Structure 1
Amino acid sequence: MNTVSDPQRQEVAEDVGESMSSNNRKAMGAVLLAVALASLDTAIANTALPQIAADLHTTPSASVWIINAYQLSMVATLLPFASLGERVGHKRVFIGGVSIFLIASLLCALAPSLNALTAARVLQGVGAAAVMSVNVALIRFLYPAHRLGRGVGLNALVVGVSFAVGPTVASLLLAIASWPWLFAINIPLGLLALAFGLPNLPATPKRDALFDPLAALLNAVAFAALIFALGHAAQRASWQTVVISLGVTLAAGVLLIRREAGHRAPMLPIDLFRRPMFALSTFTAICAFAAQGLAFVSLPFFFENVLSRSQVEAGFLMTPWPVMVAAIAPIAGRLSDRYSPGALGGIGLGLLCIGMTLLALMPPHPSVLDISLRMALCGLGFGFFQSPNLKAFMASAPPERSGGASGVIGTARLLGQATGAALVALSFGIAGHHGPVLALAWGAGFAAVGCVASALRVMGGKVSIKH
C-alpha cells in the first residue's frame, strides 16, 4: 500500500514539472551532478592504473581490482537500493548514497595501500549504486508525463558524456596533479549536490513493506558472481573457476526468485519482465552498453597500436563521440515524447552499428577527418538511442514501481559495460595486435542485435505513461 495516492503523485509531478521552478531546477541539478560523479568514477580510474600501481608498489594485474571492486559493489547493490527506495523514499536513498560516496572518495584519496584503496572503492561503489538506483525514479517525479522525455534526455546526456570523457578528464588531472586528486575532486562537487538536493528533492511515494536483507544478499551474490565469471572467462582463467562462479550465480538467482515468489514488488523485478516492452528495453540496453563498452575500452588501443597515433592524438580522436552524444541526447529525449521510443532507439542503434563497422574497416592510414566522421556517427547513434530507451523503461513500469525500474536501468548498463570490457580482453587473447578490430566488430554485432530488439518494441504500439 502506498503512502501517497495516485492523485497526490500526479499533483506532485505536475507542480514540479510544468513550471520547473528554481527549487526544482536545483533538485534536477543535484541529481545530474551526483550521476555525473558516479558515472565518471566508473571509467576515470582506468587511466590512472599505471601510476597508482607504481605509487602503491603493486603489480598491474593486481591493480585491476581497483576497477573490479567498484563495478562489483555497484552491480551487487543496485537492485537492493532500488527496492529500499520504494520502501523508505527515493530521496533518502539518494542523499545516503551521495554521503557514502563522499566518505569513500576521501578514503580513496588517503589510501596508503592497494588493499585500503580497494576497500574504499568497494564503499564508493555502494554509494554510487544508491545514487544510480533511484536517479531516474526521482526524475520521473520532477517532470509530468508529456515532458518526461526531456528529463531522461538530460540524464542520458550526463551518463553518456561522463562515461565517455572519463579518460580525458583523468589525463588532464594527472598532467597537473597526482592520482589521489582523481578522488579528492569528488568531495566539493558531492557537497554541492547535497546542498542542492537536501532542501529541494521531492518526497516520493513509499510502500508499506519490510526490506528483506536475505533477498538483498542473494541478489548481491548472484550479480557479483556473474561479473566475476565474465571477467575470468575473458582472461581465459581455469574453466573450473568460471563454472563454479556461474553455478553460484544460478543457485543464488533461483533462491532469490523462490523467496520472492508472489511478492508485489520483488527486489529482482520478475513481474516487470513479464511486460514485453520492459523486457525488450532491458535487453536493448544491455546490447547497447556492451557495444559502447567494447568501443571505449578498445578504441584507445586501436588508435595507438593499430593506427600508430600518439596518446594525446588518441584522446582528441575520442572526442567526437561524446560531443555528438551531448548534442543529440536532449533532442532525442524531446522526440521520444512524440514518437515511438522503439523506433527512435532502433534508428540510433542502427547508426551505431554502421559507425562501428566503419571503424573496424578503417583503411591503414586514415585521416583525422575519416576517423572523426566515424566517431561522430557512433556518438549520433548512441545519443539517439539512450534517451528514448530510458523513456520506454519508465513508461512500461507502473508509477509505484519506479524504483525497481530505475534499478534495472542501472543494472543493465553495468552488465553491458562489464560484458563489453570482458570481451575486449578476450579479443586481445584471441587476435593479439588486431584485438581492437575484433572488439569493434563484436560491438557492431551487439548494436545490430539491439537494433532488432528495439524495433520489435514498435509492434507493441505507442508507449503511454501515467503518473
Structure 2
Amino acid sequence: MSRLFETRPGDDGLPAPQRRLAVLALILGTLMAVVDTTMINLALPSIADDLAISSARSVWVTNLFQIVCAAFLLVFAAVSELISRRRLYVAGLALFVLASLGAALSRELNMLLAFRALQGLGAAATLSIGPSLYRSIFPSRLLGSALGLSALVVAGGYAAGPTIGGLVLSVASWPWLFVLHLPLGVFALMLAWRALPREPGRQGGFDGWGALLSIATLGALFVGMDGIGYGAPLWQTLAWLTASLLAGLCFVRRQRRATHPLLPLSLFAERRFSLAVSASGLAFIGQGLTFVALSFLYQQEMGFTPLQTAWLFTPWPLAIMLVGPLAGRLADRVNPSLLSCAGLVLLFIGLASLALLDAEAKVIDGLWRTGLCGLGFGLFQPPNNREMMASVPWQFSSSASGVMSTTRTVGQSLGVALVGAFLAANAPVQATLWAGCAACLLALVASLGRVTLAGEAQARQRREVGRSGVPRCD
C-alpha cells in the first residue's frame, strides 16, 4: 500500500500528501454508496412494519435508488467535463448527505422514496467519475494498483454492508442507518473540497437531448428488468424494454450528430476498450446472477439458515479484497489481459463447481467454491478496469469512467433479472448457475481477443518511458 504514495521524479498525478487525502475522500464516498444498498436491504421488513406498507412496496426503497443511480451515470460523466470532476464530486456528496438526513426524518413512504431518489442522484454523481479521478490522482505507472484499491473498497463495502446493518438494527431503528452517513459524509466533503485535483471545465455546449435519451434508455431498461425479477405482467415488462430499445436507438443516432455528444462513440472504435467493456458486462452478469441464485440454492434446496447463507457469501468479497490490490499491481507490470483471462478461468471453475453442488453438501463445500469465485473475480476486475481506462485518451477519461460504472450496474441488474426469468419458468436453480457459467465463458472470449492488443500497447508504453523518462497511459 505504501507504494501507492511514493513520488518519483517525472511522476504525473498529485503529490503524495495531497494524494492520500484525495484517495480517502474517494474511499469514503464509494463506501457510503455501496454500503447503503446492502444494509438498507436488511431494513426493508422493519421499514414495511414501521410505515405500515406491504413488503412489495417496501422493495421500492431499494429499487428507486438503484434505478435513479443507473439512469444518471452517463449524464453525470458528461456534466463533469463542463463543471470539473471536483465540483461534481463535491456536489454529489453534498446531495447524498442531505438526502440521507431527509430519509432519516421520513415518516411516510412517498417522502422516503423522494429522498432515496435524491440519494441515487448523489451516488450517481460520485460513482460515475470515481475511476477517472483515480487516473488523475495517481501516476500513470500506478494506474493498475490504484484501480485494485478501488476494487478492494467496493468489495469491502459489499462485505461490510450486511454486518453494519445488522449491528445497527440490533440496537436502533432503521432511520439510524441513514444517520450513519452524516458524519462520514461531512468529513468526506471537507477532504474532497481540499484535496481533489482542480481542473478547468470544458468550453462548449451540453447535449441535453442526449442526456434525456440516455436517462430514458437506462431508466426504462431497469424498470423492465425489475419487472422480470419481480413477476410483473409480461405486457408491461415488454413495453418498458421496447421503450428502452427505441430510446437507445434514438440516443445512438443523436450521438452521431451532436456537436458535443454525451458519450463519444469514437471510444468504442478502440478495440481494447470495447472488448474490456464487453468482458466486464458479461462478468458482472455472472456475479449478479450468482449472488441471487445462491440464496435460493442454499436455503430452499440445501436447507441452510439465513445466517449460514450469509456466511457462505462472505468468502467472495473477502477474496476480492485480498486479491484485487495484488492483481492491480501486477497489471502495471504484465499484460493485464492475461491476468483478466486467468481470473475468468478461475471464476468459471468456481461457478461450475457451485452448479454441481448437491442437496447433501456441507457448509465447507459452499465456502471454498464461493471463495474460488471471489478469487477469480478479484483477479479479473482490476486488470480489466485498467484496460478500460488506459486504452482511451486522457480527454475521454470521464466518459470511459461513466461507461465502466454503467456497465457494472447494468450487468449486475441483468443478472438479477435473469434469475427472476428462470424462476418464473420453474427452471432449477442449477440451470441459472450454468447460465452464469455461459456468461463467464463469453467474457473469457472477449478478454482473449485483446491479449495481443494489450501486449503491444504495454511494449509501446515501455518504449515511450525509455525515451522520455515520464510514463503515460496511451
Q: Do they superpose with TM above 0.5?
A: yes
d(CA) in 1 for partners of 2:66 and 2:447? 26
Query: 1:28 deviation in Å?
Result: 0.5
Give the aligned length: 453
Pick aligned residue for 1:314 from 290, 309, 313: 309
Aligned partner of 2:4 in structure 1 is none
Pick aligned residue for 1:73 from 62, 65, 68: 68
d(CA) in 1 for partners of 2:41 and 2:242? 30
Aligned partner of 1:6 in structure 2 is none
Aligned partner of 2:11 in structure 1 is 14
Query: 1:248 deviation in Å?
Result: 1.8
Query: 1:451 deviation in Å?
Result: 1.5
Pick aligned residue for 1:459 from 452, 455, 461: 452
Aligned partner of 1:240 in structure 2 is 235
Aligned partner of 2:210 in structure 1 is 215
Greater shift in the superposed pair: 222-231 or 233-242 = 233-242
Query: 1:360 deviation in Å?
Result: 1.7
The secondary structure found in structure 1 opposite 2:256 is: coil
d(CA) in 2 for partners of 1:390 and 1:274? 17
Please tell me the residue identity of whatever aligns with 1:457. Answer: R
**8 A contact 1:332–1:387 mirrored in 2:** yes
Change (3 A) 1:283 1:323: same
**8 A contact 1:164–1:296 mirrored in 2:** no
Change (3 A) 1:426 1:172: farther
Greater shift in the superposed pair: 54-63 or 126-135 = 54-63
Aligned: 1:43 with 2:43: no
Query: 1:263 deviation in Å?
Result: 4.4
Q: How does 1:426-441 map to 2 (within 5 A)?
A: 426-431=421-426, 434-435=428-429, 437-441=430-434
Q: How does 1:296-445 map to 2 (within 5 A)?
A: 296-431=291-426, 434-435=428-429, 437-445=430-438
**8 A contact 1:12–1:141 mirrored in 2:** no
Aligned partner of 2:129 in structure 1 is 134
Query: 1:13 deviation in Å?
Result: 9.3
**8 A contact 2:149–2:324 mirrored in 1:** yes
Moved over 6 A (4+): none
Please tell me the residue identity of whatever aligns with 1:251. Answer: L
Please tell me the residue identity of whatever aligns with 2:309. Answer: A
Query: 1:136 deviation in Å?
Result: 0.8
Query: 1:236 deviation in Å?
Result: 4.4
The secondary structure found in structure 1 opposite 2:425 is: helix
**8 A contact 1:29–1:193 mirrored in 2:** yes
The Cα RMSD (Å) is 2.1
d(CA) in 2 for partners of 1:413 and 1:264? 28
Greater shift in the superposed pair: 77-86 or 227-236 = 227-236
Residues 85-142 of structure 1 deviation map (CA, whole Å, 9 limit, x = unaligned): 1121111111111011101111111111122111111111100000011111111011
Please tell me the residue identity of whatever aligns with 1:213. Answer: G
Query: 1:321 deviation in Å?
Result: 1.1
Residues 19-72 of structure 1 deviation map (CA, whole Å, 9 limit, x = unaligned): x52221011110111011112223332222222112111111112211210111
The secondary structure found in structure 2 opposite 1:260 is: helix
Aligned partner of 2:104 in structure 1 is 109
Query: 1:412 deviation in Å?
Result: 0.4
Q: How does 1:221-232 map to 2 (within 5 A)?
A: 221-232=216-227
Greater shift in the superposed pair: 229-238 or 304-313 = 229-238
Residues 215-274 of structure 1 deviation map (CA, whole Å, 9 limit, x = unaligned): 211110111011112222344433332332223222322332333324465213322112
Aligned: 1:448 with 2:441: yes
d(CA) in 2 for partners of 1:208 and 1:251? 31
d(CA) in 2 for partners of 1:265 and 1:339? 36
Unaligned runs of 5+ in 1: 1-10
Change (3 A) 1:353 1:307: same
d(CA) in 2 for partners of 1:288 and 1:447? 6
**8 A contact 1:227–1:418 mirrored in 2:** yes
Aligned partner of 1:183 in structure 2 is 178
Residues 270-312 of structure 1 deviation map (CA, whole Å, 9 limit, x = unaligned): 2211211111111111111111111222323322222212222
The secondary structure found in structure 2 opposite 1:140 is: helix
Please tell me the residue identity of whatever aligns with 2:57. Answer: A
Superposition TM-score, scaled by structure 1 size: 0.92
Superposition TM-score, scaled by structure 2 size: 0.90
d(CA) in 1 for partners of 2:245 and 2:426? 31
